[in-house]
Amino acid sequence: MILLEHAPALAIAVPLLAALATPLVSKAGKRIRNLWVILSLAFAEFVVIMLGRDVLAGNVHVYSVGASVPSLTSTGGFPIRIILVADAMSALVSLAAMSIALLAAIYSWRFMEEHHSLGLDKFYTLLLLLAAGMMGLSLTGDFFTLFVFIEVVSISSAGLIAFFSSGESFEAAFKYMVISATGSLLLLFGIGLLYGKYGMLNMAAIANEVSMQHSFLDIAALSLMVSALLLKSGSVPVHMWKPDAYQEAPAQVVIMMLTITLLSLYVMFRICFSVFSLVLPVTMGWLIVILGAMSVFVGVTMAMPQRNLKRLIGYAAVAEIGYVMLGAGTGLIAMPNVSGFAMQALSGGIFHMINDVLDLSLMLLAAGTVFYITRQQDINEVGGLAHKSGYLAVLFMISMLAIAGMPPMGGFASKLMIYESVYYFNPLLSIIGILGSIMLLAIFVKIFASVFLGVPYKGSVRQVPKSMMFAMCVLAFFILFFGIFPNLALDLLITPAAEALINPQAYIGGVV
């Protein structure tokens, strides 16, 4: 029906329209504005679910923006307009991104109330712009639109980092802006190189051209883009901005920034797998795997001495990004004929992408609630909370076990797939991975003991509001669901996504 035909465009347009109208709607009052934000995100989630169902039924959903007939892509044998492509992989990623945005909006209903009554409509506008940017990032099939949406995402997340206007938050936001500005300028340089050679900007069209004749220029453009996107995803050489940014931003903005890092990883895999599949040097795969292993190692070792809970989660996020790169990198090494273990590694990497978002978000929301109910910012003063709010302790326990990759939780299935398959490529890497998750468990047990166990907490503790509890329970449900029925999630969501990533012909065929 009409909604499905325009689904990719609507997925971007609905949060954008809602963001533009929020200043208007917020004139009518706080509750109406909050409802407006949550309803628009829920409608966008509905559109993305419909898109996902249609795409999982087997066809690549193509939408050319502005053409008289949405599916009219290449008029003169090559695409002219901007084309949004939704195949299994991008549908999966946009589904994850939009559900996290919805949960963040629900969570921030009560969380932001007493913090900042003056500028809250700015907060919700930026939140919706961030959601629109994430949708654009995951659905676009055009290089320059990719650059524009990466800018939308990085500017609105910088604005959100600096929302609690304290000295450190401006510092963190400035550092984040410097790094993401240089990253996207390098990306634009790579896009310019590609446009200079092929005269076209569409990913599928260039992929078609690259498969015919390729030269040093493609390698140069590819390496520029991959380095820019690694910059954005906060892997090892440039991960300094992540702990600061995660420490300063409000909890639900940090969840959105988590999804942004995973989206930039998704875009890097899209470029490596679909566009440059034939010309991809093996060294690129090894580079990503080694960087992944290093970020696991650095993330975990740096997380040890941390006192601030959110900063610690920032380093844990660097480690989790390392796992995803470890998994998908091995898939990249055996690119032309991905079979057996490389396929398992790739689907393990993608599955871990989803699990990583879920458990780190649950951990962050739990941390935010701890600070909300005790009104303290530092975790040393907070102790023995288990007596006051048992549910929070259980949720924290679930997220802690999931991050460390314990059996009942979702993280276990994906990490096991990564360890098994990476072992065949290089045993040292999977050893680093296993060590990393053990140390993560040790760190979080220490945090759990200091925050929840011990002498009951003397200070006054507020009741955990319903909206926060609802958001956290939804996350806990999905973590447990992926943990107990991994095969259900695997063949429903992950393997079609992995297959879609593997054969670029389906991607190119849909467009050209």
Contact residue for another protein among 49, 50, 113, 144 (CB under 8 A):
144
How many residues bind another protein, per CB under 8 A? 83
Where does this chain touch another protein (CB under 8 A) — which range of 16-24, 94-102, 320-328, 416-424? 16-24
Residues 163, 276, 412, 423: which binds another protein (CB under 8 A)? 163
C-alpha atoms less than 13 angstroms from C-alpha of 511 in its C-beta half-sphere = 30
The residues that bridge with 64 in the sheet, in sequence order, are 83
What does the alpha-carbon distance between residue 430 and residue 107 come to, in Å, rounded to a whole number? 36
Distance CA 190, CA 225 (A): 6
Q: CA-based angle 308:310:313, to the nearest 5?
A: 110
- Least CB distance to another protein at residue 350 (A): 27
Interacting span for another protein (CB under 8 A) from 112-120, 332-340, 382-390, 451-459: 112-120
State which residue, 174 or 391, has the beta carbon closest to another protein: 174
| Least gap, CB of 393 to another protein (angstroms) | 32
With CA atoms as reference, report the closest residue to 403 among 443, 368, 371. Answer: 443
Q: What is the DSSP letter of 64?
A: E
* 311 belongs to the binding site for another protein (CB under 8 A): no
Question: According to CB under 8 A, which residues from 197 to 226 bind another protein?
Answer: 197-201, 215-217, 220-221, 223-224
Residue 480 is a binding residue for another protein (CB under 8 A):
no
Binding status of residue 189 toward another protein by CB under 8 A:
yes
288 CB-contact burial (10 Å; exposed 0-12 / middle 13-18 / buried 19+) = buried
Site for another protein (CB under 8 A): which residue of 47, 107, 159, 370? Answer: 159
The verdict on 305 binding another protein (CB under 8 A) reads no
Residue 174 is a binding residue for another protein (CB under 8 A): yes
CA torsion sign for 175, 179, 184, 188 is: positive
Q: Residue 181 has which token pair?
A: 């500005």
Amino acid symbol at 184: S
Nearer to another protein, 224 or 268 (CB): 224
Report if residue 24 touches another protein, rule: CB under 8 A. Answer: yes
Nearest approach in angstroms of CB 82 to another protein is 5
Please state, in angstroms and rounded to a whole number, the distance separating the CA atoms of residues 215 and 222. 11
- Which of 36, 111, 147, 315: binder of another protein (CB under 8 A)? 147
Given the rule CB under 8 A, which of 140-148, 245-253, 347-355, 487-495 is the region that contacts another protein? 140-148
Residue 80 binds another protein (CB under 8 A): yes
- 342 in contact with another protein (CB under 8 A): no
For position 182 contacting another protein by CB under 8 A, the verdict is yes
Rounded least distance, CB 293 to another protein, Å: 21
| Region near another protein per CB under 8 A, out of 126-134, 255-263, 307-315, 429-437 | 126-134
Contact between 109 and another protein by CB under 8 A: the answer reads no
Q: How far is the CB of 134 from another protein (least distance, A)?
A: 13
- C-alpha 161/C-alpha 257 separation (Å) is 10
One character per residue 404-443, x = contact with another protein (rule: CB under 8 A): ----------------------------------------
Residue 336 touching another protein (CB under 8 A): no
Output the DSSP codes for 284-318. HHHHHHHHHHHHHHHHHHHHTT--SHHHHHHHHHH
Secondary-structure percent of the chain, ordered helix, strand, coil, rounded to 5: 75, 0, 20
181 binds another protein (CB under 8 A): yes
What sign does the dihedral 387-391-393-394 (CA atoms) show?
positive
- Residue entry with tokens 């034939």: 278
Report the Cα 270 to chain-centroid distance in Å: 14
- Contact criterion met (CB below 8 Å) for 206 and 194: yes
Tell me which H or E stretch contains 16: helix 7-25
First-to-last CA distance in the chain?
Answer: 24
Residues 218-277 that bind another protein (CB under 8 A): 220-221, 223-224, 240
**Shortest distance in whole angstroms from residue 276 CB to another protein:** 15
| Exposed / middle / buried, residue 127 (Cβ in 10 Å: 0-12, 13-18, 19+) | buried
- Give residue 224's identity as a one-letter amino acid code: L
Q: Which one of the spans 151-159, 260-268, 350-358, 471-479 is the region binding another protein (CB under 8 A)?
A: 151-159
| Closer of 5 and 54 to another protein (Cβ) | 5
Beta bridge partners of 142: 202
Nearer to another protein, 209 or 320 (CB): 209
Give φ, ψ of 388 to 5 degrees: -75, -50
Contact pattern for another protein over residues 348 through 377, marking x by CB under 8 A: ------------------------------
Give 314 or 436: the residue with its C-beta nearer to another protein: 314
Least separation in angstroms between CB 129 and another protein: 5
